[in-house]
Chains A and B, each alone.
Chain A
Amino acid sequence: MGLLSDPNRRRALISMLTRLNAPICVVCYFAGVAWFMGLAFEPFTLRTYMSENAMGSTMVEERFPAGERALATGREFAAHKKKVGGMPVDWLVKNMQDRGLEVFTQSFSRTLPFPDENKERYIVKGTNVYGILRAPRAPRTEALVLSAPCSPGDNNNQAVGLLLGLAQYFRNQIYWAKDIIFLVNEHDLIGMQAWLEGYHHTNTTGMSWSPLQGRGGSIQAALSLELSSDVITSLDLVLEGLNGQLPNLDLANLFYAFCQKIGVLCTIQGKLQRNDWDSVSGYNHAVQTMMLMVMKQASGRPWGDHGLFLRYHIEAATIKGVNSFRQYKTDATTIGRLLEGMYRKLNNLLERLHQSYFFYLMPSLSHFVSIGYYMPAFGLLAVILLLRALDLWVQLNTPPSTTEDGVADIDQVRHTLLSVLTPLVISHLTGVALYALPIRFQETAVEHFPVSETEAVVLTAIAIYTAGLALPHNTHRYYIVSTVPDVRGWRVLKLVAVLYLAVLLGCTALINFSLGFILALTLVPLAAFVTPHVPKVLSAFILVILSPACTLLFSVFFFQELQDMPVSFQDGWLLYLSVISQGILDHSLYGSLVYPLIALLVYPCWLLFWNILFWK
């Protein structure tokens, strides 16, 4: 007889499962964490390599000569920007036209749901200016984008100057097979979102923009430049985009290959690569780089202007020029040559970048870990949930000590399932309240309390979150049936909750591994151990510590530590509040899914476990 159909063997398996459940869960948890930490260890990673045959090696000759002139243009741009007090649209249009591009503008406006305190804006109106360099001999079917943001103050002037310098140089070459669009966007991400929506004729976020008069063809790749000083010491590559989406690894490989060829120092996450992987400090360095990438990916916000391109399946990255205190300085001509080389290679592309990985983690710029290597870390954590579910199923199916006849049993099961429905519905309604109410009631909050709108929104969110903790004391009154309150009822609820959490975390990890893994790290232990029989006060405390809000708080402190900028508790708390407000803003402005996920799905799931803890 088979292993599972033989009753003796089945009983043996089941008894082994129930006996060893807790130890296996603990072992799996630590194995998952160890696997994740081991990903940064260099022998377990692969060296990056160029997968796209059409891009080939870096054998082009870069001849961009005009770095100084580009910087002068940047200074002129800064002067005009100060004079106009915003984006100098007319100057940009004239300048691009003088360089032989087809210039168009797009105006857009957007009222934020509540004022953004970080960037001090509420009603945003702006103009994007872009010039198209038409390919001399090719049909207008494909395009590449080079963009630089127009930032207030002294930021990114050199980026716009270099963009215009490159535009002039590129215009004189005849080997372009794709149109190149030079874009200067205002109000960084909001302007970029307006431009992309106009380009692709979609309107997902409710912004109002004027339609684009000129268009280039389907965009194959895009680079965004952020350069704020005349002389730089290193170039930083930013890959993380909206909802944790990453561009194709070939784009990072291309950047790294050209950095090596030209001899510019290149970093990722602001950290330079080290060669001593076998020492403790070297390993620490790699772990820190990887954790920074995980944190940034989990937050779901676009960390550069490129982040919004990824949604349209356009591979994009941001290149930031960093001026720190190093000996070797690079000038604008070298950066121009690097960009020229990258664009010549992107010009050779015949189809979209698809040969290399889309899901990866990078402990350094020359090493990567692909999805096949990092998914088992999450899988080990998900296995814990499945083992717990199996254990609960076994417990539910063993008949209780006082046997009743079949009819009452079935009734009890049915009633138990119905009673599970009540906590589920109430938790999800609380989640909906957490999602919708903060923005809706910000005016009433501002009337009654002496706070600004942003603070009102954030504090309402925290208030609703904490109010949810009070729920279990009330839900008992709303049970639909009045039969004997079932001692086993909590098991059914826990089974449903554990499976729900497993599916939720699994789906999240597929799309955004970092978010799924971080949530799994905190939620899986609490899902595993919580029952009504554990000591209430201690477990309540642990549950609150491991809840999504506290995870976010700890992540904020950890993120600041990783960037070598530790904050005090006061500053950390303010930073935490601003992170929540940014999350809500990102959702309404760009369609980021982290806030709805946490509010509508993860928080109700956590409430179910809170409910189980206080089950009577």
Chain B
Amino acid sequence: IVVMLASPAVMLALLMLNILIIIHLLSVISQNSAGQFFSSGHTNNWAVLVCTSRFWFNYRHVANTLSVYRSVKRLGIPDSHIVLMLADDMACNHRNPKPATVFSHKNMELNVYGDDVEVDYRGYEVTVENFLRVLTGRLPPSTPRSKRLLSDDRSNILIYLTGHGGNGFLKFQDSEEISNVELADAFEQMWQKRRYNELLFIIDTCQGASMYERFYSPNIMALASSQVGEDSLSHQPDLAIGVHLMDRYTFYMLEFLEDIHPASKTNMNDLFKVCPKSQCVSTPGHRTDLFLRDPGSVLITDFFGSVRKVELTMDAINLTDPIKQMEEDPVNGEEQKEVYSYADQLPVSEIIHQKPKQKDWHPPDGFILGLWTLILLVFFKTYGIKHLKHIF
């Protein structure tokens, strides 16, 4: 009633107010979508894919790893960001009736070996020590770039392990094992060295869930093909080749991944549903308590793909002005960052008795003072107090 009685000027003012409100809301919304656009927080993707078993009858483990490698490459992670470790060469094994191929489907439908496979660690180089060195980055300076995991604190890393395992361990090459405690400690080292932003750990072995029980570093999500006490089963044999070609969990995961393309929005909850007990016979498990984001908001391509965030703009940006240095202004309210300096790990000067560095002068300790007092007291005790006057 009040509005209807208002004059046109008041109405105009109200209209302007509405428009302002709408614009404000719109900006807020755009800010939210922009926030969502950059919600994952990672800028690059890495993958470490490991097959730990050798011998011809473990063909399926190599096929598992190669199929994950193929999916990850297809979704965009380049070879320079993939560390592929294969413990044995199945493609060129003397017993392979189709040399230079590794098949993942029977009747030889899908050759996962292809002609552009880059294996970084091969044969006897796949050891527990090398695997842990790759993860933690403690490699000798002569290691080539292709064998290093050069991740930083904005990298999302996918780690896939397959082979023969048991309750709390994974067998490497028939001669050694890695335990779940070692793996958890390696991930903690990675966290402390800021070598990952988020980590997805997938393991396809018997009793695989035992391997992620001990993780304690943040931002790790883990998937396993079977629980403790269960065996992961192989999928199908190929009679012409004479071995089992894939394990069930990885087979159904591969089928799931074949539907993912770089722009798909499928999230981790769908990955958790891959291979239910009816298909896999074992019960797959997952662990998300260490992960900070909600798994429903984590895209598959956050780990399996290397999706570059692209911001399209129609505005022209003027670059003719010289670029001014931004001055550091402590008054701005920003926190003053501490200046870090390296601890002196090798004090050479002290070792070879050179002139020591100038240190700040400290007043003498109480200990030295006490010692001198004691000496003086003893002196005066022996020689009598009357000698004091000779001093003063």
A-B interaction? yes
Known: A174-B99, A344-B242, A348-B242. A56 touches B94 (CB 8 A): no
How many angstroms between the C-alpha atoms of A138 and B95 in the bound complex? 9
B99→A59 contact, CB < 8 A: no
Interface size class of A (residues with CB under 8 A): 10 to 19
How many angstroms between the C-alpha atoms of A174 and B95 in the bound complex? 8
Known: A59-B242, A344-B242, A348-B242. A54 touches B95 (CB 8 A): no
B94→A137 contact, CB < 8 A: yes
Q: Is B291 an interface residue (CB 8 A)?
A: no
Contacts of B94 in A (CB 8 A): 135-138, 175-177
List residues of A (124-165) whose CB comes within 8 Å of B's CBs: 135-138
Q: Is A60 an interface residue (CB 8 A)?
A: yes
Contacts of B239 in A (CB 8 A): 59-61
CB distance from B230 to the nearest CB of A (A): 20
- Residue interface bits A225-250, CB-to-B below 8 A is 1, else 0: 00000000000000000000000000
A347→B55 contact, CB < 8 A: no
How many angstroms between the C-alpha atoms of A59 and B239 in the bound complex? 6
Known: A59-B237, A59-B239, A59-B242. A53 touches B57 (CB 8 A): yes
Known: A175-B95, A176-B94. A60 touches B242 (CB 8 A): yes
Contacts of A347 in B (CB 8 A): 95
How many angstroms between the C-alpha atoms of A175 and B96 in the bound complex? 6
How many angstroms between the C-alpha atoms of A61 and B96 in the bound complex? 14
CB distance from B133 to the nearest CB of A (A): 29
Q: Is B41 an interface residue (CB 8 A)?
A: no
- Residue interface bits B80-100, CB-to-A below 8 A is 1, else 0: 000000000000111111010
CB distance from A108 to the nearest CB of B (A): 33
CB distance from B93 to the nearest CB of A (A): 8
Q: Is A350 an interface residue (CB 8 A)?
A: yes
Contacts of B56 in A (CB 8 A): 54, 348, 350
How many angstroms between the C-alpha atoms of A137 and B96 in the bound complex? 10
Q: Is B29 an interface residue (CB 8 A)?
A: no
Q: Is B240 an interface residue (CB 8 A)?
A: yes
CB distance from B102 to the nearest CB of A (A): 15
How many angstroms between the C-alpha atoms of A176 and B237 in the bound complex? 19
Contacts of B99 in A (CB 8 A): 137, 174
B240→A348 contact, CB < 8 A: no
B97→A348 contact, CB < 8 A: no
A-B contact count (CB 8 A): 40
Known: A56-B57, A60-B242. A348 touches B237 (CB 8 A): no
CB distance from B319 to the nearest CB of A (A): 61
Contacts of A175 in B (CB 8 A): 94-97
Contacts of B93 in A (CB 8 A): 177
CB distance from B56 to the nearest CB of A (A): 6
- Residue interface bits A47-62, CB-to-B below 8 A is 1, else 0: 0000001101001110
Task: Output the residue of A53, A138, A175, A347 with the most chain B CB within 10 A.
Answer: A175
- Residue interface bits A24-68, CB-to-B below 8 A is 1, else 0: 000000000000000000000000000001101001110000000
Q: Is A173 an interface residue (CB 8 A)?
A: yes
CB distance from B96 to the nearest CB of A (A): 7
Contacts of A176 in B (CB 8 A): 94
CB distance from B99 to the nearest CB of A (A): 7
Task: Output the residue of A60, A176, A347 with the most chain B CB within 10 A.
Answer: A60
How many angstroms between the C-alpha atoms of A461 and B99 in the bound complex? 64
CB distance from B232 to the nearest CB of A (A): 16
Task: Output the residue of B57, B94, B237 with the most chain A CB within 10 A.
Answer: B94
Known: A174-B99, A175-B96. A54 touches B242 (CB 8 A): no
List residues of B (49-80) whose CB comes within 8 Å of A's CBs: 55-57
A61→B57 contact, CB < 8 A: no
Contacts of B55 in A (CB 8 A): 54, 350
Contacts of B240 in A (CB 8 A): 61
CB distance from A505 to the nearest CB of B (A): 42
CB distance from A104 to the nearest CB of B (A): 24
- Residue interface bits A165-178, CB-to-B below 8 A is 1, else 0: 00000000111110
- Residue interface bits A327-359, CB-to-B below 8 A is 1, else 0: 000000000000000001001101000000000
List residues of A (173-205) whose CB comes within 8 Å of B's CBs: 173-177
How many angstroms between the C-alpha atoms of A136 and B92 in the bound complex? 12
CB distance from B244 to the nearest CB of A (A): 8
How many angstroms between the C-alpha atoms of A175 and B93 in the bound complex? 9
CB distance from A58 to the nearest CB of B (A): 9
Known: A60-B239, A60-B242, A348-B242. A54 touches B97 (CB 8 A): no
Chain A: CB-nearest residue to B237: A59
- Residue interface bits B228-244, CB-to-A below 8 A is 1, else 0: 00000000010110110
How many angstroms between the C-alpha atoms of A136 and B95 in the bound complex? 10
Chain B: CB-nearest residue to A137: B94
Contacts of A59 in B (CB 8 A): 237, 239, 242-243
Contacts of A350 in B (CB 8 A): 55-56
Between A and B, 29 residue pairs with Cβ closer than 8 Å are A53-B57, A54-B55, A54-B56, A54-B57, A56-B57, A59-B239, A59-B242, A60-B239, A61-B239, A61-B240, A61-B242, A135-B94, A136-B94, A137-B92, A137-B94, A138-B94, A173-B97, A174-B99, A175-B94, A175-B95, A175-B97, A177-B93, A177-B94, A177-B95, A344-B242, A348-B56, A348-B57, A348-B242, A350-B55
List residues of chain B with CB under 8 Å of any chain A CB. Answer: 55-57, 92-97, 99, 237, 239-240, 242-243
A61-B240, A348-B56 given; 4 more Cβ-contact pairs under 8 Å: A54-B56, A54-B57, A60-B239, A350-B55
Closest 10 CB pairs of A and B: A177-B94, A61-B239, A138-B94, A175-B97, A59-B237, A60-B242, A177-B95, A137-B94, A175-B95, A61-B240
